C-alpha cells in the first residue's frame, strides 16, 4: 500500500477518490483548506493537513514522507480564485514541492480539450498548467477526463439549476456535442491505479466511459429521472452569450458564463471508446443504464 498526498479531496471528484483510496488501504494524507469538509475522511483514518495548496511551503511540508501526490485541484471559473493562480501556477507549485520532498511520482487530473487557444480561456489555463508541470521535470502522469458523473454534484448541480430556471429548459446550441461520460467510481479507480503504472509516466492520457453520447441525451437522462416536464428550447450559443456576459458581470455565481457556453460546443471525446480498458484492463460501467436509476432523487453527500 502506498503513502499518498491527495490535493482536492473535498471537491466533487475528490470525495470519490478519497473514499476509494481509504477503501484500498492506502496511507492517505489530505491537504484541505476547511477541515470540517474533511471530517468524514479523518474519521476513516486519513491524516489531515490544513492549508492552501497555492502556498509552496505548505505543500512542501505536506509532501514530506509521501511516495505519490494526486492532484485534483482546479477552478472552472476565473473568480474568486483566478485561472492563473490555481490552474497554471498551482501545478508548478505542487511539482516543485514534490521534487523538494523527494516524492516518486504525481498523478495530475486535467480535462479533455485542454488546449492553447485564446477563444477558450479555461481550456487554455488547463493546458498551461499541464505545461508548467511538465517543465519541472517531475515524474508524472496526466489523466484528462471527459464528463464525470455521480449520484450528486458535478454536472448534476448544473442540470438542477438549468431545470429550475424559467418555464423552459434551455439547451445551449443544438445539444449534439458529443461526450464520453464516465462514472466517478470508475474515474477514481483509474486515478488510483495510475499510481502503480510506471509505463504511464510522462504521458497525457484521455479517458472516458464506454459510450459516446450527446449533451442532450445526458440532460434527458436527468430530466426523465426527475420527472421534469418543461419544454426544451435549443438556443444558438451566440444568443446566449450576451446574457451570460451580463450574469458574469453582476452575479457572484452565474448560472453559466460565456466561456462555458463556447466550450460546451466542443466535442469531449477520449482517446478511443475503449480508453479505460486499453490502459487499465477493465471495462467501465455504461452511464446510460446507470443514470436513470441513480438520478431519481437529490442525493446527499457521503
Ligand atoms: N467534474 C467533472 O465532470 C470533471 C470532468 C473532467 C475532469 N475533471 C477534473 O477533476 C478535477 C476535480 O474536479 P471537481 O469537479 O472535483 O472540482 P471541484 O469540485 O471544484 O473541486 C476542486 C477541489 O480543489 C480544491 N481547491 C481549490 N483551490 C484550492 C486551494 N487554493 N488550496 C487547496 N485546495 C483547493 C477545492 O477545495 P475546497 O473544497 O476548499 O474548495 C476542492 O477540493 C479537476 O482537475 C477537474 O478539471 C472534472
Structural domain includes residue 105: yes
Task: Please indicate, yes or no, if residue 81 is contained in any of the structural domains.
Answer: yes
Residue 298, in any domain of the structure: no
pLDDT, residue 299, reads: 64
pLDDT digits (tens, 9 = 90+) for 91-124: 999 999 999 999 999 999 999 999 999 999 999 9
Query: For residue 301, what pLDDT is reported?
Result: 58
Cell readout for 27 is: 496511507
Residue 261 lies in a domain: no
Residue 297: the pLDDT is 80
What pLDDT is stored for residue 178 in this prediction?
A: 98
Question: How many other C-beta atoms are found inside a 10 Å radius of the C-beta of residue 241?
Answer: 18
The closest-lying atom of ligand 1 relative to the alpha carbon of residue 53 is 32
Please write the tens of the pLDDT for every residue from 47-81. Answer: 999 999 999 999 999 999 999 999 999 999 999 99
> 25 C-alpha to center of ligand 1: Å?
23
Distance between Cα 232 and ligand 1 center (Å): 30
Q: Give the ligand 1 atom nearest the CA of 144.
A: 7
Cα of 149 vs centre of ligand 1, distance in Å, is: 14
Query: What integer pLDDT is reported at residue 302 of this predicted model?
Result: 56
**Which range of residues forms the domain containing residue 130?**
3-149+181-209+267-285
Q: What residue spans of 154-257 are helical by DSSP H?
A: 155-164, 184-195, 215-226, 237-250
CA of 252 to the centre of ligand 1 (A): 18
For the CA of 33, the closest atom of ligand 1 is: 40
Q: Any idea what the CATH number is for the domain that residue 41 is in?
A: 3.40.50.720
Domain-embedded: residue 16 = yes
Q: How far apart are CA 134 and CA 92, in angstroms?
A: 9
Can you tell me whether residue 105 is helix, strand or coil? strand
The count of structural domains within the chain is 1
Q: Which of 190, 155, 161 is nearest to 72 (CA)?
A: 190
- Residues near ligand 1 (Cβ within 6 A): 8-14, 33-34, 37, 52-54, 72-74, 81, 86, 109-111, 145, 147-148, 154-155
pLDDT at 30 (0 to 100):
98
Ligand 1, atom 21: closest residue by C-alpha: 11
Ligand 1 centroid – CA 81 distance (Å): 12
Distance from the CA of 231 to the center of ligand 1, in angstroms? 33
Predicted local distance difference test score (pLDDT) of residue 166? 86
**What residue's CA is closest to ligand 1, atom 40?**
33
C-alpha cell at position 218: 445526458
Give the pLDDT score at 165: 83
Q: Is residue 238 part of a domain?
A: no
- Listed as ranges, residues in the chain with pLDDT below 70 are 299-302
- Let me know if residue 100 belongs to a domain: yes
C-alpha cell at 219: 440532460
Residue 291 in any domain: the answer is no
SS3 (DSSP) at 143: strand
Amino acid at each position: 500500500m502506498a503513502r499518498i498526498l491527495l490535493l482536492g479531496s473535498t471537491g466533487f471528484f475528490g470525495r470519490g477518490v478519497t473514499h476509494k483510496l481509504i477503501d484500498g488501504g492506502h496511507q492517505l494524507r489530505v491537504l484541505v483548506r476547511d477541515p470540517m469538509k474533511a471530517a468524514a475522511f479523518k474519521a476513516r483514518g486519513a491524516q489531515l493537513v490544513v492549508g492552501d495548496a497555492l502556498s509552496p511551503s505548505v505543500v512542501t511540508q505536506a509532501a514530506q514522507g509521501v511516495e505519490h501526490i494526486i492532484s485534483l485541484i482546479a477552478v472552472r471559473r476565473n473568480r474568486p480564485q483566478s485561472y492563473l493562480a490555481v490552474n497554471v501556477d498551482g501545478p508548478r507549485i505542487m511539482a516543485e514541492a514534490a521534487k523538494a520532498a523527494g516524492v516518486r511520482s504525481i498523478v495530475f487530473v486535467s480535462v479533455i480539450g485542454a488546449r492553447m487557444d485564446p477563444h477558450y480561456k479555461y481550456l487554455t489555463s488547463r493546458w498551461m498548467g499541464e505545461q508548467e508541470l511538465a517543465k519541472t521535470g517531475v515524474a508524472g502522469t496526466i489523466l484528462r477526463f471527459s464528463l464525470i458523473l455521480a449520484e450528486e454534484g458535478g454536472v448534476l448541480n448544473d442540470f438542477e439549476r438549468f431545470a429550475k430556471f424559467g418555464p423552459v429548459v434551455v439547451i445551449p446550441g443544438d445539444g449534439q456535442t458529443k461526450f464520453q461520460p464516465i462514472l466517478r467510481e470508475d474515474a477514481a479507480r483509474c486515478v488510483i491505479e495510475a499510481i502503480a503504472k510506471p509505463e504511464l509516466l510522462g504521458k497525457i492520457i484521455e479517458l472516458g466511459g464506454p459510450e459516446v453520447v450527446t449533451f442532450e441525451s445526458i440532460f434527458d437522462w436527468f430530466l426523465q429521472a426527475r420527472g421534469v416536464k418543461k419544454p426544451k428550447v435549443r438556443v444558438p450559443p451566440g444568443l446566449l452569450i450576451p446574457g451570460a456576459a451580463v450574469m458574469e458581470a453582476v452575479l457572484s455565481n452565474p448560472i453559466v458564463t460565456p466561456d462555458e457556453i463556447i466550450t460546451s460546443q466542443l466535442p469531449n471525446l477520449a482517446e478511443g471508446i475503449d480508453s479505460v480498458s486499453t490502459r487499465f484492463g477493465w471495462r467501465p460501467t455504461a452511464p446510460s443504464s446507470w443514470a436513470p436509476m441513480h438520478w431519481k432523487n437529490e442525493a446527499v453527500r457521503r
